[in-house]
Structure 1
Amino acid sequence: MKNVSAKKICKRYKFILLGVLIILCIQLSLFSFSPITNSSESEPSSRVSINKPTDRNKTNGSDPPLQIHDSTDKKSFQFQPKCNITVKDSLSAISRAKTELCKQEIADVSCLSLEGKLFPKDIQNYCPFKGNHTSGFYYGCFGDKTEQRDLSHHKEFPDTNSPKNCIKYCTSGGYLYAGLQYMKECWCGDRFGSHGKVDTSLCNNQCPGDPSKPCGGYQANSIYTTGLGAKIKNPVELLGPITQTTQVKIVFVLTLNGRAVRQVRRLLKAIYHRDHFYYIHVDSRQQYLYDELLPLESMLPNVRLTRNRFATIWGGASLLQAHLAFIKELLEMTDWTWDYYINLSESDYPIKNLETLVNFLTRYNGKVFMKSHGRDTPKFLKKQGLDQIFHECDNHLWRLGPRELPNGLRFDGGSDWVGLHRKFCEYVITSDPLLDGLKEFYKYTLLPAESFFHTVLQNSIFCDKWMDNNLHVTNWIRKKGCKCQNKHIVDWCGCSPNDFKSTDLQRLMVFEQRPRFFARKFEPAVNQDIINSLDLYLFKDRPQDMKSYTKYWQNEFHFKDKTSNKTDTLLSFYGSFQRKSLESQKLSSCHLKPVRTLESNAYFVEDHYNGALVLYEAQHEQSGKIVTLESHFTKRRHYIVSDPQGPAGRLLSLEIGTEYDLKENIFRNFGQLIGPYSDLTLEHSWSSGSDFTVSVAWIDPTDVVAASYDIEIPGTNHIGSLKPDLKVPLRPGVWKVKLMHKWEVVAETSFLVVPLTTFQHRPVKFQQVLSFHNGPGSLYIDKDFKDFDTVLQVNRTVQLQKDADSNGRKTGDQLDQWVDNLTKAFWEYQNICISGESSIGCLELDICEKTLWSSRSEDPKSELHGIDSKSGRLR
C-alpha cells in the first residue's frame, strides 16, 4: 500500500513540479549573466572595493535587520536588462545591489553608456582666451632627449595612438600642446622646442590608431596644438583694510549632517553678523538636527532652513544636485541680496574674524575662489575616477566601468569648499551646451562637487576670474585619511581629512598673514580644546572660566528619531540605566518607575569621554505624577595584562566597540554600546619596543572560542584595529578577548553584548528573543577552535550552555533582570537630577538646569541670546 500511495502522490504533483521548473528556467533566462567579483586596477589607490558575500544574518548596525516589506519593489517590479551587459563592473554592481529598482537603474545606465547616449561626446568650450591656433594645428617635427624631456607629461597608447587621440588626452589634462613620439607615445606640455626643430623625416613613424598620420620617431615629436590658451591664475594675497564704503555681502551655506547641534550653534555664533545671510541645509535623514535648528528662523531674520532637503552620501552625485538647487533657491529669494556663496559644514570653524573676510572679498569682488588639485591633471583625473562611470542608488555609489571624457574641454577639480561670486552662480543654473553637457556628464561621476564648478569655470566666459584659493585650511594626513573608509557606501577608495587637535594650534597660527579664513575639520567630541583656543584668539572677550568651558555634550538618541539599526541596542542599555538609577539608595524609597527614554548624550570633560547621560520620564506610583529625570553613568575599565614583563607589557589599551574611525582612532559609538547584531572592532594600543606576533582569541559567554587571528605588532608606538568576521547574532552576555604570545595568555579584556529588550521601540516577544539571543546557530566563522581551549583556559561546561539557553528564552521582567545583572559589571551609576522642578513629592533632588554635568545645564559657548544692537553679532 505504501508503494501505491507514493505513485499516486508523484502522479498528482508531477505537473506542479514541471510548472515550477518552467518558472525557474524563465527567471534564469531573464538574469542571464554571472556576477564578476572584481576587476584589475592599475593603481592601488583606486582599487575598487567589492564586498565579499556575508552570512545572511550579518548587518552593519547594532540591531537585527528591520523587516521592511516593499510590495512595489518585490512583487510588481521586476528587473529586466534592456541590452546585453558585458562590462564586468556593471555586472558586479547589479549582483550586489539590494533592490530590483536599483538593479534596473544600473542596467539602464550601462545600456545608455554602451549606446553612447549617456552624455555628449563633444561639449562646447566658451573660454575666450584660446591658443594661437585651433585644435589640431601641426607645428612640425621637434627633437627630444631622454635626460631632458621637451614635453612634461607622458602616456602610451600602444594600439590607438593618433593625433586625434593624443590631442584629446592632452586637452582634457589642460595642456597647450600634444606631441606624438615613437608611434605609441603621447606627450603633453605647455611649451615645446627646447631642443629645436628637426627634419620632418625623423617623424615618419605611422600611428597605430591612424596609419595616414605621422606619430613622431625616435626622440622626435610630432607637435600639435590642443587649441587651449594658458590657464589664467590670478594672484591672491591678504592685504590690509580697504577704503570702499560698500562691502560685499555673503550667504553662508551650511550643509549639515549628524547630531552635533551645539557645535552648529557655536559655529553660527562665530560667523554671524546681521548684514550677512545664513542658509542651512540639514540632511533629510537627520530630523533631530533639523528640529533643533528650526527655531533659529523665528529668532534671527537672516537665517533660513531650506525645506528642499537631500540625503547626500560621500562621493555621490546628490551633493552636486543639492548645491545647484541651493543656488537656484537663493537667487529666487528677492529679500536676500548677496554677493558671495560660501559653503561650510559643522566641522568648519573660522580662523580669522568676519570683518577680515569681508574686506578680502570686497577687494577681489567678482573673482571666483576654488582650490585646484595641483599640477598633474591626468593623474588627478585617474585618481578621482573621472574616467569611470558611477551611479547612485540604494544609498550606495556603484562603479559601472570606464568611459571616455568629452572632447574639447579643460578638466579641473580639487576642493569642494568654494567661494562663488553671484554672477557665476547666476550662470551655472542657466542652460547652454557647456552647462547642459557637463550636468549630464557629472550625473554619473564620483565626487562631482569636487570637479563640476572647476571645469565649468575653466571652460566658460568666467575662465579669467579664477583665484586658486578656497579660503580654507584642511588637515590632510594622507597616511591616516586614505584607508578606504567609505567602501561601504562607494566602490572606490577615497580620502578624508583629519581633525585638528590642541597640538595643531601653531600650525593654524602660521596662516595668520595668509588668505585663509576657515579650517577643517573640528569635532568637539574629539578635541574641543582647539576650538576653545580659536575662540580666545578671535573673540578675546570670551572668558575661560565660563560655565561648561571644558565640557561638551553630544546627542546620541532622541525619542523622535526614526528607528534605525542602532536604536534597540541603545534603548536596552538606557532602560537598564533608568531602572538602576531608580533603585539607587537616593531613590529606593520613592517608588518610581521608568516610562520612556527621551534622549541621551555622550558627556565629555576636558576632551575625555565621561559617560552617558540619559534623560527620561518616570512616574511616581502613589500620585501618578510624571517627572523628567536625568541619570549619569560611567564605564568601567576591564582589560588586564597578565605578563607585564613580557611583550604585552607594551600594551596601553585594549578595547572593543563599534563604528571605529580609522582616521582618529576612536569609536564613534562613544559608550561602546554593543548588541547581538553589532559589527565589532578591537582597538589595541602599544608603546615602543621589540616587534612580535600576537594571537587574538574571541570567546563567547558559553566559553566557545568564536575566532582567532594573528596580528603583527611593530616595534614603534602603534595603534591597530582588528575587525573579526563573526556571524550574527552574537550570543548576549560577557565576552572575552585574550591575547596569546607563544601559546601563553598575556593579556585579556571583557566586553558586554547586551540582550535586546526592545525591537522597533516595542518590548521584544518570545519568538524574537529566540532569534536574537541564542547565537548564530552555527560556528561563528565556520571553524572550530576547540584545540585552543586548554591554552586559553576556557571550560565549556554543560551548565554554561544550560544557563545560556535559559537566558535566551527570557522576556519581560526576567529579561530586564538579566540585562541589569550584566550592565552593573560594566557601568557605574554616578548621579541623578530632576528637570524643571526640585521635588517629586517624596524626595528633593538636584535641579538639572543648575548642575554642572547635566545636559540641561548652561552652556554659554553654544547658546544664542539674540543680536547685539551695537556690534550686530550674536550675544
Structure 2
Amino acid sequence: MVAAGLPHIKHQPAESQPCFATMDIDIDTPSSSPRGRPSSCAGIDLRCLLSVVFGGIFTVFLLGASQAALPSASLFLQRYSAATQRPSPPRFAYLVSGSKGDAARLRRCLLALYHPRNRYILHLDAEAPNSDRAELAAFVAAHPVLAAAGNVRVVEKANLVTYRGITMVTTTLHAAAAFLHGPGAAGWDWFINLSASDYPLVTQDDLMDVFSRLPRDLNFIEHTSDMGWKAHARAKPLVVDPGLYLKTKRDLMWMNTETQKRELPTAFTLFTGSAWTVLSRPFVEYVISGWDNLPRTLLLYYGNFVSSPEGYFQTVACNANEFRNTTVNHDMHYISWGEPLGQHPELINATHWGRMLGSDAPFARKFGRDANDVVLARIDEELLARQPDMLIPGGWCMGNVGAGSGDDHCSAVGDATLLHPGLGAARLQRLVESLLSEDNFRPKQCKIVEHNN
C-alpha cells in the first residue's frame, strides 16, 4: 500500500536500468488549481538519484575541506581588516648576528628593537674577540630593564661563520633551537634573523599591532624557483665551508669546477631568494625537528652549495606540503641593489630615504659601521622616537614620564601588552595588505619555473 501523497515509482529491472530511467509520478491536485491536472515527468532511477545526491554532498565536503586547508588571500585580509576584538600582541624571537667590530652596532640595534615581550639572542661570531662578547654581556647585565626582563642572551660559545657558507644557516638554526628549548621557549610566535647591518624602520608596537591580526602560521620568505644564472654558478659547483672544521675564518673552498660539478636535483625543486626571513613558530619547529627528514636532507645538500643562506629556508618551505601555502613572497626589508643591479647591496645613505620609507618595509639594510650615521640618527628621531643610547619607547614604558628630554622614559616596565602604534603601523599595514592581496599572495607562492639542466 502506497501512502497518500507519495508518488508511485515504477522500477525497471536492475540489469536493464539506464542511468536516467523513466519514472511515472502521478500527483493528485485539486481541480480548482491552475496546475490541477495529471502530469507525467521524466525521472531518475532512485539508486542513481541517491548516488548523485551523496556524490554532491561528498564534493561539497571536499571543497570545504580544501578551502579550510588552503584559505584564500581574501580570507586573510578579512581576518586582518575586520577584526573587532584585538588579539593579544605576538612575541618575536630575534637573532641579531655580527662579527669583529660589530659589538657597538649590535648594542644599538638591540635598543632599537627592544620590547619586554620579545626574546633576543645576540651572536658575535668567533672572529670577534672574547672581550667584545664580554662587553656586550656586561652591558645587558647592567641595564635595569634588560636585566629585569631577562629576555636577552649573548652567545658565549660563538660559532665561526663563513660568508655565503652553510655555517650561516647552522648559526641561524642554532639560535632557533635555543629559542625553542631555552628560557622563554613557550612565549614567541615569529623568528626574525637580522645582522648588525640591519635596522628597524618601525617600532615594536607598530610591528606587534599589525602582526597581531595576521594568521600566526605565515612565513615571510622571498623566493623564486627561477634560478637563472645561479643554477650554474651556485647550485652546480661543489664548495666546502671551512668554518665547519677550522678555528680561523677563511673563504669557501672550491672543488675543481671543471671536473666536479653536480647535476641539479630531481628529488626536490630548488628555490632561491633573500637570506632575511620572518619565520612562524610552526615552521621553525618543523625545520628543527624535521619529522619527515626533508629539513635534514636539504641541510646536507646545501652544505656544498654557494650562498646556501639564500636557498635553504626557501627550498624547505616550498617542498614541504604543510608549509608551501603559508609563504608570503617578501623578506620584509628595504634593500637597494643599485643600478644596474649588483650582487651586493648598496650602503644606505641620505639619497635612499624616500625610497626606503616608500617601501613600507619594517626593516632596512645595509648600514655601515659609522657610529654617527646620519640616516640611522634620522630613523631614531623621526621614525622610532628613540633618544641616543636609550631603549625605543612603547606602550610598555613606565618610568621618568614627563621628565626632561635627557632622561630615560623607559626605565621601568609597565603593561607590556599595551601598544601605542604610530605611523609605522600604517605603512606596514599597507605593505601587508598588498602582499596578501589576490594579485600577490597565491600567484607568487612557491611557483615552479622549468629550467634546463
TM range (shorter): 0.5 to 0.7
Q: Which residue of 2 aligns with 1:496?
A: 344
Q: Counterpart amino acid of 1:366?
A: D
SS of structure 2 residue aligned to 1:294:
helix
Q: Which residue of 1 aligns with 2:436?
A: none
SS of structure 1 residue aligned to 2:117:
coil
SS of structure 1 residue aligned to 2:153:
strand
Q: Which residue of 1 aligns with 2:379?
A: 534
- Select the residue among 324, 327, 345 that pairs with 1:466: 327
Q: How do residues 293-372 of structure 1 correspond to structure 2 at under 5 angstroms? A: 293-298=136-141, 299=143, 300=146, 301-336=150-185, 337-364=187-214, 365-372=216-223
Question: How far does the alpha carbon of each residue in 1:209-245 deviate from its partner, in whole angstroms, 9 at most, with x for none?
Answer: xxxxxxxxxxxxxxxxxxxxxx999689897796333
Distance 1:276 1:318 in 2: 25
Question: How far does the alpha carbon of each residue in 1:331-390 deviate from its partner, in whole angstroms, 9 at most, with x for none?
Answer: 1115332111101111111111212211232323111111125x733444234x112211
Distance 1:530 1:871 in 2: 31
Aligned length: 310
Q: Which residue of 2 aligns with 1:505?
A: 353
Distance 2:240 2:371 in 1: 33
Distance 1:527 1:273 in 2: 24
Q: Counterpart amino acid of 1:342?
A: I
Distance 2:72 2:307 in 1: 24
RMSD: 3.3
* Structure 1 residues 352 and 866, CA gap change in structure 2 (3 angstroms): closer
Kept in 2: contact 1:368–1:466 (CA 8 A): yes
Kindly indicate whether residue 249 of structure 2 is the aligned counterpart of residue 398 of structure 1.
Answer: no
SS of structure 1 residue aligned to 2:379:
helix
Distance 2:408 2:265 in 1: 50
Kindly indicate whether residue 303 of structure 2 is the aligned counterpart of residue 443 of structure 1.
Answer: yes
Q: Which residue of 2 aligns with 1:869?
A: 413
Question: How far does the alpha carbon of each residue in 1:788-842 deviate from its partner, in whole angstroms, 9 at most, with x for none?
Answer: xxxxxxxxxxxxxxxxxxxxxxxxxxxxxxxxxxxxxxxxxxxxxxxxxxxxxxx
* Structure 1 residues 241 and 529, CA gap change in structure 2 (3 angstroms): farther
- Select the residue among 118, 133, 138 that pairs with 1:290: 133
Once the two structures are TM-superposed, the CA of residue 392 in structure 1 deviates from its matched residue by: 1.9
Q: Which residue of 2 aligns with 1:453?
A: 313
Q: Which residue of 2 aligns with 1:522?
A: 367
Question: How far does the alpha carbon of each residue in 1:163-182 deviate from its partner, in whole angstroms, 9 at most, with x for none?
Answer: xxxxxxxxxxxxxxxxxxxx
Distance 1:363 1:523 in 2: 34
Distance 1:254 1:528 in 2: 19
* Structure 1 residues 499 and 378, CA gap change in structure 2 (3 angstroms): closer
Kindly indicate whether residue 269 of structure 2 is the aligned counterpart of residue 414 of structure 1.
Answer: no
Q: Which residue of 2 aligns with 1:735?
A: none
* Structure 1 residues 260 and 282, CA gap change in structure 2 (3 angstroms): closer
Q: Counterpart amino acid of 1:477?
A: G
Kindly indicate whether residue 113 of structure 2 is the aligned counterpart of residue 279 of structure 1.
Answer: no
Question: How far does the alpha carbon of each residue in 1:518-570 deviate from its partner, in whole angstroms, 9 at most, with x for none?
Answer: 00011251861111111111234749xx99xxxxxxxxxxxxxxxxxxxxxxx
Q: Counterpart amino acid of 1:467?
A: V
Whose helix proportion is higher, 1 or 2?
Answer: 2
Once the two structures are TM-superposed, the CA of residue 250 in structure 1 deviates from its matched residue by: 0.4
Q: How do residues 658-677 of structure 1 correspond to structure 2 at under 5 angstroms? A: none
Q: Which residue of 1 aligns with 2:100?
A: 258
Distance 2:77 2:377 in 1: 28
Distance 1:474 1:370 in 2: 15
Q: Counterpart amino acid of 1:367?
A: L
Q: How do residues 714-753 of structure 1 correspond to structure 2 at under 5 angstroms? A: none
Question: How far does the alpha carbon of each residue in 1:641-698 deviate from its partner, in whole angstroms, 9 at most, with x for none?
Answer: xxxxxxxxxxxxxxxxxxxxxxxxxxxxxxxxxxxxxxxxxxxxxxxxxxxxxxxxxx
Say which structure, 1 or 2, has more relative contact order (CA 8 Å, 6+ apart): 2
Distance 1:537 1:240 in 2: 27
Once the two structures are TM-superposed, the CA of residue 433 in structure 1 deviates from its matched residue by: 3.7
Distance 1:307 1:368 in 2: 29
SS of structure 2 residue aligned to 1:531:
helix
Q: How do residues 372-387 of structure 1 correspond to structure 2 at under 5 angstroms? A: 372-373=223-224, 376-383=226-233, 385-387=234-236
* Structure 1 residues 508 and 871, CA gap change in structure 2 (3 angstroms): farther
Q: Counterpart amino acid of 1:457?
A: A
Kept in 2: contact 1:500–1:521 (CA 8 A): yes
Distance 1:865 1:244 in 2: 26
Kept in 1: contact 2:347–2:368 (CA 8 A): yes
Once the two structures are TM-superposed, the CA of residue 508 in structure 1 deviates from its matched residue by: 1.6
Q: Which residue of 1 aligns with 2:437?
A: none
Q: How do residues 76-87 of structure 1 correspond to structure 2 at under 5 angstroms? A: none
- Give me the TM-score of the superposition, normalised by structure 2: 0.62
* Structure 1 residues 525 and 232, CA gap change in structure 2 (3 angstroms): farther
* Structure 1 residues 441 and 510, CA gap change in structure 2 (3 angstroms): same
Q: Counterpart amino acid of 1:449?
A: P
Kept in 1: contact 2:231–2:264 (CA 8 A): no
% of aligned pairs identical? 23
Once the two structures are TM-superposed, the CA of residue 258 in structure 1 deviates from its matched residue by: 2.8
Kept in 2: contact 1:497–1:521 (CA 8 A): yes
Question: How far does the alpha carbon of each residue in 1:739-785 deviate from its partner, in whole angstroms, 9 at most, with x for none?
Answer: xxxxxxxxxxxxxxxxxxxxxxxxxxxxxxxxxxxxxxxxxxxxxxx
Distance 1:266 1:240 in 2: 34
SS of structure 2 residue aligned to 1:412:
coil
SS of structure 1 residue aligned to 2:162:
coil
Q: How do residues 20-59 of structure 1 correspond to structure 2 at under 5 angstroms? A: none
Distance 1:360 1:241 in 2: 13
Kept in 1: contact 2:302–2:308 (CA 8 A): yes
Q: Counterpart amino acid of 2:382?
A: Y
SS of structure 1 residue aligned to 2:206:
helix
Kept in 1: contact 2:102–2:124 (CA 8 A): no
Distance 1:367 1:447 in 2: 24
Distance 1:351 1:338 in 2: 21
Q: Counterpart amino acid of 2:114?
A: Y
Kept in 2: contact 1:232–1:463 (CA 8 A): no
Q: Counterpart amino acid of 1:290?
A: R
Kept in 2: contact 1:241–1:359 (CA 8 A): no
Once the two structures are TM-superposed, the CA of residue 871 in structure 1 deviates from its matched residue by: 7.2
SS of structure 2 residue aligned to 1:360:
helix
Distance 2:238 2:91 in 1: 39
Kept in 2: contact 1:390–1:445 (CA 8 A): yes
Kept in 1: contact 2:92–2:119 (CA 8 A): yes
Q: Which runs of 5+ in 1 are unaligned?
A: 1-230, 483-494, 548-859
Q: Counterpart amino acid of 2:137?
A: L
Kept in 2: contact 1:250–1:342 (CA 8 A): yes
Whose strand proportion is higher, 1 or 2?
Answer: 1
SS of structure 2 residue aligned to 1:504:
helix
Once the two structures are TM-superposed, the CA of residue 864 in structure 1 deviates from its matched residue by: 8.6
* Structure 1 residues 541 and 232, CA gap change in structure 2 (3 angstroms): closer
Q: Which runs of 5+ in 2 are unaligned?
A: 1-69, 391-404, 419-453
Q: Counterpart amino acid of 2:267?
A: G
* Structure 1 residues 441 and 478, CA gap change in structure 2 (3 angstroms): farther
Distance 1:233 1:451 in 2: 26
